[in-house]
Structures are given as structure tokens and as C-alpha cells.
Amino acid sequence: MKKILLIATGGTIASHSSSKGLSPQIAAEGLLKCVPEVLEFCQPSAIQIYNIDSTNVTPEHWIKLAETIRDNYDAYDGFVVCHGTDTMSYTAAMISYMVQHSPKPIVFTGSQQPIDKEDTDGRINLRDSFLYATSEAASDVVIVFQGKVIAGTRAKKIRTKSFNAFTSVDFPNLAAIRDGRVIQYITTPKQAAPEFYLELNGKVGLLTLTPGAKGEILDAYFAHYDAVVLSGYGTGGIPDSDYYGFYETIQGWEKKGKTLVVTTQVQQEGSDMNVYQVGRGFKNRFDLLESYTMTYESIITKLMWILAQVRDDDSVRELFYRCVNYDLIG
């Protein structure tokens, strides 16, 4: 039987109720005891690397997680990471960049209810995750939740309380888990070995445009961050009237070597800045990057990975448009 390592990080699945609300308290071995049936098809082990609400996750936590996977990689056939749902999409995307092309599966899961509650979704999600981690077709970074297997860079949390919390944005689910069986839809070619990256640049910010928000706000973001993701309207439109002043702001910071990525606030179908004047004018004038169908989570984490490796414009552009774990499609 395959050896699978459970890496516990906290989240709702590991939480107990208190007078202050839910907080992670159940340790890794306690989670494993809640799914004794996995002993029938794998040899599980467990390790606790931190026990936090995922709202508190930082780049340092991501580095610790990637280091743990690296240090245990040769000893196990796959990994299951228990994580809070609120930032799971960010962490799954980030580990997609920090542990690239893994021939062994790295499976993220969690739950909307603590695992020791009678009506929890935690036990089935954890059991399904171990099952998928033993599948011969499984590889790379995925999220397993409510029977869906989603590529680590395509996932987004779309519901705050319902068990069906995650969707795959603009890309099919890789597989489904039904009645104890893995139904594989898309098989990722396996590489010989993973590539590990353990340095990040956390100075990446996301600014979502709202009517009336002027260029001074973007100016403040550029003053603090090395890269800014500007979330525009529709297909990636940015206000171009004199009232807003975005041309002047972007021009000034481009000369100082800052990176600008333009995306869209619309969840489905991505950006296309060439459609309207309010997009095309900025794209023609500036050396900006366009996200197309990348999710917020993959854009932000990919930039944190890229800016820790390179800083010159050409290299940043080359890495940004290099497809990793289905983050760029179409």
C-alpha cells in the first residue's frame, strides 16, 4: 500500500467551538483518527506544522509547508494537506509554484464544519483526499472537496457556508470521486522529479477599481509594493478620463521598474484588453501584463514566486506567461 503523509495546518476541519468562536485545536493525529477507514487502502502518517485559522496565513507559512513537502518527498508516495478553506485557493496556487511538476500528488482539503461534528463534511473530504492521493493517475497540486478534484491554480471558494464551497474557474474538474471510486477526466503527464522553490517576495498587492477611485490610490499601492494587480472592469477596462489620472500614475511607476498586471473583476471568461478603448489604450502604451483567464489567487501567488527569482522585465514576463499546473488556458 502507498504511504501518504497528512500535513496538518489548522482550519475549520481542526476547530472546536469556544466563547470566542471556532478556532483550530485538533492536532494531526486527531484528524487521522477520524478516518480509520483509510487504513484499508494506504499507510497514513501525520505531522503538524502549525495550527492556525487560514485567515492568518503568511508567505512564511507557505515556505514552511513547501519545506515540509521537500524534506519528506522521498519517503512518501503522496501528501494530503489539511487547510482552512478561506485561503486554501491561495495556498494551493502558491504550492503549485513552489513545488512544480510534482509526479506525486499534493492534495489540499478542509471542511465547512469541524471534523468532530455529527453533520460535518470533514470526514468525507479527508477520506476522499487520501483516496485520490493513492490514485495512479494523481499528480501535482490539487484541491479535493465535495467529490471534486480541482487543479491547484484554478480553484476559487464561492460559498461561505455550504459544503459545495469550491469551483474550478474556466477549466474542467480534473477528476471526481463517487462511491469510493476515482473517475479521472484529465490526466496530467508526470515529470521525473519536482522543482522546489523556497523563496518568495510578498510585496504584491491587489487593487480592485471602484467608480470614483483615482490614480492616487494606485500611486499609494506602487509606493508599497513591487508589483500591483489592478482589477479592472469587464474585459479589463481602466478609466482613461482626465478625472482619474491613471495614465500619469502608471507611467511614473513603470519608469521605476514596478510590475503592473491587469485583470478583471468578472469571475468567468477572463480579460481581453483589446476589445475596448479603455483597455487597448493602456495595453498599447505601457509594458503591462494581462492576466487573461488566470484567477486572482494564481496571479498574486505567481508574482510572489516570480519576483523572488528575477526582477528584470523580460524575465518577469517570460515566467508570468509560462504555464504551470493549468494556470494559463485558452
Q: Of these residues, 9, 12, 91, 153, which one is catalytic? A: 12
How would DSSP label each residue in 192-205? SS-EE-------EE
pLDDT tens for 289-306 read: 999 999 999 999 999 999
- Is-catalytic flag, 293? no
pLDDT over 90 at 263, yes or no: yes
pLDDT over 90 at 19, yes or no: no
141-145/148-151 β-pairing: antiparallel
Check if 2-196 and 204-320 are the same fold.
yes
18 band by pLDDT with thresholds 50, 70 and 90: confident
CATH of 204-320, picked from 3.40.50.40, 3.20.20.80, 1.10.260.40, 3.40.190.10, is 3.40.50.40
17 band by pLDDT with thresholds 50, 70 and 90: confident
pTM above threshold 0.75: yes
CATH no. of 2-196 = 3.40.50.1170
Secondary element (H or E) of residue 306 = helix 296-309
**Backbone angle region of 83, left / alpha / beta, with phi > 0 → left and psi within -120 to 50 → alpha:** beta
Specify the pLDDT at position 132. 98
pLDDT tens for 210-254 read: 999 999 999 999 999 999 999 999 999 999 999 999 999 999 999
pLDDT tens for 164-207 read: 999 999 999 999 999 999 999 999 999 999 999 999 999 999 99
pLDDT tens for 265-289 read: 999 999 999 999 999 999 999 999 9
Residue ranges of the domains in the chain? 2-196, 204-320
Helices 277-285 and 246-254 pack at an angle, to 10 degrees, of 20
Specify the pLDDT at position 20. 85
